[in-house]
Structure 1
Amino acid sequence: VLGAVMHPERHVYFVRKMNYYGGGQSEKLLKIEMDYSTINKNLQNLNYDTPVYICHEGKIIFSNRDGENIGDEYEKFSDYKEVEYKKTSNIYGAQLEIYVLRPETDLIGKLVERLPMLLLLFSINIFFPLIMVLLLNRSLTARISRLSSIFRNTEDENLVEIENVSAKDEIGDLMRNYNRMVSRITTLVNIVYKNRILEQEMTVARQKAELLALRSQINPHFLFNALESIRMHSVIRKEKITAEMVEKLAVMQRQYVDWGEDLIEVGKEMEIVKNYMDLQQYRFGKRLSYRLDVETECQHQKIPKLTIVTFAENACVHGIEKKTAPGWIFITVYRENEEMCIEVEDTGEGMTEKEFDSMRRKMKNASIELLENEKGVGIINACLRLKMMSHDRVQFELNGEEGTGVSVLIRLPFIESEKG
């Protein structure tokens, strides 16, 4: 039995009947009196972070929370939803319920409580490292920035040694190694530079010799083909108009002989092409028609001499000559973005797929060695000189079908000039 007396001090009593022997004896009771204030204070002094309540028959007997008025009746326990742990215990015959509630979260209060420690940790983790970084900046960061500046200067091919390197750490070793590298490179440049100049002079001499060889091949190549065309037509038709064709041939021949400069403007080259096409039209008659078209801004672009004529001749000999029906040859020069395009298209006999593959390979891989091993030199010669003139930036496209004709497209970098 639990009870409380209504006076300034709250007490807790445990009362229990005692066993007795025989009849007629009086009933005996055991009463245990406990000081409520002392027990409650001891419970609060345990410093539990969570609320703890000890209840009897639904009333709160003890609690580790403040605010209990010893003069009031025991309060009813109502926070059942917040109970984290519950246990029932029998003490001196009284059924006591022990409730442990969920921890109370007071983040702001805890932060305020631990503010000095947080400030100390903040100082240790922020200010002290910042001071250390500032101290190291003069030694490490400044030297790294100096190295970075030196390395940026290498983009201008200006290798400069680092002066006053005295530190013994890794950055100092890096600086000293850089100085050794600069010294070594400077020595190698001085040695290699003279050898490179000599090599370039030899390369230029070799290229000039190759150009002379190419010119010596291309001169009789065109001359003999043109003369054969005139001879065959003269034999067959016996016409005096042959004199006019010989005059055109003479104009062309002067171009073949005059090799003072290997490059020629596209407009001048197209005049040679027209003379050649007139010769071929004289030969084939109505079997051959042609059309020449050059955009104005391409007139003054430079190309190797007799380049377009070579492809025009190939269209006549291998396209129109092999076809009995009338055919056309279209030669167009135009600009497309940053490229000049030279297109030579015929409606002649065309080629087989195998012949197309072989011709594409020869055009792409044109070289002196290939010229020495091939019978036909015209197209390979022109492709090689285009590659040399454009520093291998020329592109060749070859398309067509057997029986329908061939289309050759040459792409060269467009060179901006005052004229073009």
Structure 2
Amino acid sequence: MYSYQRRKEPGPVFRIIIRGINDLKLRTKLILSFIVVVFIPVMIVGLFLTNELRHQALDNALEQTAVNVDRVKKRTSEVINAAYDISYRLSNDSRLARLAATEYETVYDVVKAYKDYPDIKEYISLYKEISNIRIYLDNPTLLDNWEFIQPSESIINSGWYQSAMSSSGLIGWNYIEDERDGKKYLSLIRKIDFRDEMSSAVLVINVNSRMLDAILNQETFETMIVDENNNIISSNRPGRVGKGLSEIDFDPSIVNKQSGTYNAVVNEQSSKIRIETLIPLSSLNGIRILSVFSVKTIVKDANQIIILATIVIFISLIVAIVLIYGFSNLLSKRMLRLSKHITKVATGNLDVTLAIDGKDEIGQLSRQFNAMVGSINVLLAEVQESNLQKTQLVTRQNEIKFKMLASQINPHFLFNALESIRMKAHIKGEKEIAKVVRLLGRMMRKNLEAGSKEVTLRSEIEVVRCYLDIQKFRYESRLGYELVIDPLTEQLHILPLIIQPLVENAVIHGLENKQEGGYVRIKAELMDKWMRIEVSDNGEGMDKQRLDFVLRSLEEQEDEANNRIGLRNVHMRLQLSYGREHGLVITSSPDSGTKISFTIPTGGGRHVQSADS
């Protein structure tokens, strides 16, 4: 049985409202509909857009602040890295160790020793990133000068000196006063151990404050560099350097925060603060970069736009109501005729034609109505053709799927065929041919199994060894090779099929045209945090013009007919996976062979984001 649910009739109040609306004149309905359909949504959208505009202004400011802080961090890192380089050299300088540990008998000997060691003055003149260098050492026979100083009791008892003496050579970054000129500098502080001389000293390198100020002066937002004790090292606002964050009405809840973006109150204004921590290599501590901007300042322009937009919208609404009231009588008759024809089309009559005079919107609507009716008739015919095309498309897709399935079977057939050839050759005593076929099958299987995931270096070297053994079968004694692989690198991960193209390039382009044959050497070694791989040959090599052409082809965006696609493919994969600094490095000269090398991080991870930043 079928059950029917009776449609609920509208209530008496709703019926009265509907009847009242139906009894209104057209112009009144237009005004009411305008208020309900346009005015209210515009107000809602206006409020939403107002809020979004403010948020967008803040988001843009935060994004710009993040970019600015990252730029300041990189440039500051470049400045202080100069001090790190100098400290590394001085800590390993045997002449400095002898000068510091020698007990001198006369003042003349001391002066002569200072004169024979001009390195510190040369560092100061060569590196604009530093201001001064001083070394505190306990040697009563030395004289205090601008570089070598006997530490006083106050210096020995200072926190930075005690920290350096107990830090085992790690670097400290402190904002301290240079007793020689009475000024404060961001200083690199580290203990230097002269092991052969059984002595030590404390090295202090002052970073050039003017360079730090120049970096910050290019920023639009208030930006500061502070040390771990919240002392302001540099600022693009006057009167802030040398003070603590607590002295400039800085929000106490943010003082000790590390990297991130925070809401705070600065100078009694709601503000956003971006903090980025910079801890240099081999350092005990670091510095922080702070960028501050007032929320009120950022949304000021947005607020002005909002006020102007509100005024314009309000005036437009008033004008629109007046126009609707004036033209409603002119429009009602023509709209009624249009409504009747639309009703006919709605009932399925597609043979109607509407004729309304005028070139205004209603006249345009009438012409569009007639065009629409004609288009519907055309579309009905096109639907059938579209259905036919859809059926053909499904058929083609099924054929493609079938071909893809067949393409998966072909490699297995090829492997089986190679294995049959190998067994035939083995049975007939052709061991060398059987070996080469086995190597070819293994190499092809490795190549087909290679995907986007990284493989171990040992697996990649197996592919290279198979290729070289096959080529050795071809060239016989004309080809020799050597694999120099550090055992520590064998389990490190590397992109698949990244070395074999380089070896193939060495064999084909370097040795094939050499009558007496040649030699290929593959070397893998660890270098600090990198693994370096080098493929070299003693082939015919390249002159400078040819080498420049090859290097340019590696950076081309479009493949050309004469381009070395194999090398370029390897070069681009290395750069996309590990960063631009990990591309191919090629050196060559005529009759001296070619050497191609590259490095990858030993962690095996991807490092692209940090390369062009």
TM-score w.r.t. length of structure 2: 0.32
TM-score w.r.t. length of structure 1: 0.45
